[in-house]
Amino acid sequence: VVVVAAACGSDGPVVTRDPNPSLVQMASPSSTESPKLQAPTQDSDESAIQSGGEPGSRKGGSATVLLAEHSQPITGWTPWDHVCAWSCRNVLNQVLETLTVVLPDGSTAPWLAERVEPNPSMLNWTVTIREGVKFTDGAPVTAHVIKEGYEEFQKKGEVTRGLLRDARINAVRVLDEYRLMIDLTEPNPALDVVLSGPIGRVFSTQSAIADPAAFLRRPVGTGPYIIESWEVGEPVVLVANQNYWRNDADGVSLPYLDRLVFRHVANESERIESVRSRDAQFAYTRSALAIERARDLELTVVSRNEDNIGVVLFNTLQAPVDDVRVRQALQLSTNQELLIKSSIGAGAGQPATQWFAPESRWWSGLAAEKWPVTNTVEAKELLVAYVNDTDRSDRLATGSKISVTLQCTDDIHLSAMTRELVRQWEATGLVDAQVETVTRNALIQRVLGSVTDRPGFSGDFVATCWRVGGESDPAMMFTPLFGPVRTSPLNVTNLHDETLTALVELLHSSSIETVRQAAVEQLMLAIVERMPMIYLAHSQSALIGHGGTEGLGSWLLPDGAVVLGQVAGVGRWAEVWLSGE
């Protein structure tokens, strides 16, 4: 495949990237290489990265953090059985830490692990555990404990057994007290990312085995806080772990705060107003309107454009969008700015030109440049060519308009967006567009179907509202997206060919970051060429604090590097404090 050969040439792959400065600052010399992060976009508030105050004055006090309501109530905290989404992770990350962490640019850094190293084949990964770290029950963190957690809990867990399969993890072997080997069935260059999630959470197997019911309610880990009290549907109260293993750059023990209270508040405006009135110190949001309101109130805002994109998705096996001319024409007739403006209440942020935000290490300047802008003249030319084609795929009479049905959920802000999109498509004079409103569950069923009930399902839709992207490594995301149609239910566009397969295989087989970036860039360019989706906007996340808080958005890695920013609205609450202003 020519594109892969070009990506693997003797001079190495070339990726067009934004030359932004690093977001990592060294607080002290380190023997390990610092992570490389992209600078924030204008959507990130530089004033939000706060510091200052005498080290001794940072200790003590209590803070309340307001989180979004979960679609399903949290019923327990065991990482192997309970799904933990963004709001939940704000709590669980303070109690159960992970072997690695994901940084704001999508790269990883060791956390409870000191090193995570693959062999040349990427089939065997050696994980070296930090010595001297203890659980809050007093037991030491060792390779044997992590091995036991894998064997006794993760392999059987409702959440983790599928994640282990997807990560190709076959076995965990103890090498010595602080080293273990993770054996894979296939190469996986993204295992370091996997170890930042549920599989990488480190917990006391001693406590989990001794009293499973108590552990479900109050898990025992190594984190800066301990769950003091919690009932289903009630606030979570955390108290400081007085023997936490980390200190700040001045040698002051973490965490700063004595107590954290996490409350779920469904209403976005109520969360912001509570911070403004100082009924709460911090809030989490994924609403662009809430972020804008917080800025207007001059609150501290640490925001991020996520690698999670709202799109209009085409089913490339359904006429008339099975013809690339139609898909390209519909994209060219679309005014992205107006669509985002009409859907801003649904969380729309910065306009998207690819799956990755400019802050991400996977972002490509070339892909951004190649994403087409509105061009109604070219759109009409493509539509005219299709409708006058005697062999047009929809089998309608030559010269007649095409008909497109767009399905979407009943969200009020998405309804405004779909009305605007229909207006734009029909303004070409060659499209009849209809909107079908369905429930969220019905939409998912029509797009994904059921592997059990309908094997080989290829979608009951022509065009649909959808979201793409996420925090996973590109290899993990693109393998199911571009897999064989009949065996890949997550191939929602039904695109599959040798070029796409070769690029995905390159992502899996190479551990060289520039090679993998080049493969991602070529996949983004393939989407431009084949146009299986119209990008709308990145979702946004933000952590918000009032003027009497400090340290929001600035956190220290174990090697001494200072990281600025946040991922998915999950705070590093051990390093915030109250200034008393």
16 vs 413 pLDDT, higher one = 413
Residue 340 shares a structural domain with residue 460: yes
Six-digit token pair at 208?
A: 């989990």
Residues linked to residue 386 through DSSP beta bridges, in sequence order: none
Provide mean pLDDT across the span 455-479.
90
Provide mean pLDDT across the span 89-117.
97
> Is the per-residue pLDDT at 38 higher than 90?
no
Single residue among 176, 199, 218 that ends a domain in this structure: 218
Mean predicted lDDT score pLDDT of the chain: 89
Residues 389-399 as b/e (b if ≥16 CB within 10 A, e otherwise) read: eeebbbeeeee
Domain count within the chain: 2
The confidence band for 72, taking pLDDT boundaries of 50, 70 and 90, is confident
Q: Has residue 246 been placed in a domain?
A: no
pTM of the model: 0.87
Q: Has residue 35 been placed in a domain?
A: no
Q: How many CA atoms lie within 13 A of 277 on its CB side?
A: 7
Q: Has residue 291 been placed in a domain?
A: no
435 vs 20 pLDDT, higher one = 435
> Is the per-residue pLDDT at 387 higher than 50?
yes
For the segment 402-420, what is each residue's pLDDT rounded down to a tens digit? 999 999 998 887 999 999 9
> Is the per-residue pLDDT at 574 higher than 50?
yes
For the segment 208-264, what is each residue's pLDDT rounded down to a tens digit? 999 999 999 999 999 999 999 999 989 999 999 999 999 999 999 999 999 999 999
Residue 498 shares a structural domain with residue 355: yes
Q: Has residue 427 been placed in a domain?
A: yes
Residue 336 shares a structural domain with residue 204: no
Residue 334 shares a structural domain with residue 467: yes
The pLDDT score that the predictor gives to residue 345 is 59
The confidence band for 455, taking pLDDT boundaries of 50, 70 and 90, is low
Residue 192 shares a structural domain with residue 311: no
The pLDDT score that the predictor gives to residue 410 is 87
CATH of the domain at 199: 3.90.76.10
DSSP 154-167: ITT-TTHHHHHHHT
> Is the per-residue pLDDT at 86 higher than 90?
no
Beta strands in 50-165 (DSSP E): 62-67, 100-102, 108-110, 113-118, 124-129
What is the rounded distance in angstroms from the CA atom of residue 470 to the CA atom of residue 476?
10
What is the rounded distance in angstroms from the CA atom of residue 285 to the CA atom of residue 251?
32
Q: Has residue 116 been placed in a domain?
A: yes
> Is the per-residue pLDDT at 55 higher than 80?
no
Single residue among 191, 218, 245 that ends a domain in this structure: 218
What is the rounded distance in angstroms from the CA atom of residue 580 to the CA atom of residue 550?
10
What is the rounded distance in angstroms from the CA atom of residue 538 to the CA atom of residue 352?
6
Residues linked to residue 325 through DSSP beta bridges, in sequence order: none
> Is the per-residue pLDDT at 157 higher than 70?
yes
Determine what percent of the chain is predicted with pLDDT higher than 90. 81
SS (H, E, C) 516-540: HHHHHHHHHHHHHHHCCEEEEEEEE
Provide mean pLDDT across the span 34-48.
40
The pLDDT score that the predictor gives to residue 488 is 86
At 444, is the secondary structure helix, strand, or coil? helix
Single residue among 524, 539, 554 that ends a domain in this structure: 539
Structural domain of 149:
96-218
Q: Has residue 154 been placed in a domain?
A: yes
Contact 468, 307 (CB under 8 A): no
Residue 383 shares a structural domain with residue 521: yes
